[in-house]
Structure 1
Amino acid sequence: MQLSIQTMLEYAVPGPVDVLLQIEAAIIPEQRVLHAHIELPPLEHFARVPAQACIGERIWLRISAPLTVRYEATVEVDRFLAPVDGLPAVPPHRLPGETVDYLMPSRYCTSDTFHDFVESEFAGLQGGARVGAIRDWIAGTLTYEPGSSDAFTTAADTFQSRKGVCRDYAHLMIALVRASAIPARFASAYGIGVEPQDFHAIAEVFLDGAWHLVDATGMTTPDRVAKIGVGRDAADVSFLSSFGEVEMLSQTVRVSAAR
Structure 2
Amino acid sequence: MLLEIDVSLSYSLDEGRFALLAIEAARTEGQVVLSERLECGGASARHILGESGVGQRIHLTLDSPLMQLGYGATVEVKRDGGPLEGMPAHPLYDLPAEALPFLRPSRYCQSDMFQSFVSRRFGDYSGGSKVAAIRDWVAEEMSYVPDSSNAATTVLDTFAAREGVCRDYAHMVCALVRAANIPARYASVYSPNVEPPDFHAVAQVWLNGSWHLVDSTGMSNPDAAVIIAVGRDACDVAFMETAYNAQFVEQSVRVTRR
Letter in 2 for 1:207: L
Which 4+ residue blocks in structure 1 deviate beyond 4 angstroms? none
The C-alpha deviation readout for 1:121-152, integer Å capped at 9, x for no partner, is 11211111110100000000000000100111
Letter in 2 for 1:96: P
Secondary structure, counterpart of 1:204 in structure 2: strand
Is the 1:110–1:156 Cα contact (8 Å) retained in structure 2?
yes
Tell me the residue number matched to 1:165. 165
Q: CA deviation at 1:244?
A: 2.5
Q: CA deviation at 1:93?
A: 1.6
1:59 aligns with 2:58: yes
TM-score, normalised by the number of residues in structure 1: 0.97
Tell me the residue number matched to 2:29. 29
Q: CA deviation at 1:200?
A: 0.4
Tell me the residue number matched to 1:50. 49
RMSD over aligned Cα, in angstroms? 1.0
Pairing 1:1-259 to 2, within 5 Å after superposition = 1-43=1-43, 45-65=44-64, 66-258=66-258
Distance in 2, Cα, partners of 1:188 & 1:182: 20
For structure 2, the 5+ residue unaligned runs are none
Letter in 1 for 2:54: I
Secondary structure, counterpart of 1:86 in structure 2: coil
Aligned-pair identity (%)? 47
Distance in 1, Cα, partners of 2:254 & 2:186: 21
Q: CA deviation at 1:228?
A: 0.3
Is the 1:13–1:64 Cα contact (8 Å) retained in structure 2?
no
Letter in 2 for 1:42: G
Secondary structure, counterpart of 2:206 in structure 1: strand
Secondary structure, counterpart of 1:130 in structure 2: helix
Distance in 2, Cα, partners of 1:229 & 1:185: 10
Q: CA deviation at 1:201?
A: 0.2
Distance in 1, Cα, partners of 2:85 & 2:155: 23
Is the 1:145–1:163 Cα contact (8 Å) retained in structure 2?
yes
Distance in 1, Cα, partners of 2:17 & 2:39: 18
Is the 2:9–2:250 Cα contact (8 Å) retained in structure 1?
yes
Is the 1:187–1:228 Cα contact (8 Å) retained in structure 2?
yes
Secondary structure, counterpart of 1:58 in structure 2: strand
Greater alpha carbon shift after TM alignment, 130-139 vs 56-65: 56-65
Distance in 2, Cα, partners of 1:220 & 1:62: 33
Q: CA deviation at 1:64?
A: 4.3
Secondary structure, counterpart of 1:114 in structure 2: helix
Distance in 2, Cα, partners of 1:29 & 1:121: 33
Distance in 1, Cα, partners of 2:22 & 2:201: 14
Distance in 2, Cα, partners of 1:194 & 1:129: 26
TM-score, normalised by the number of residues in structure 2: 0.97
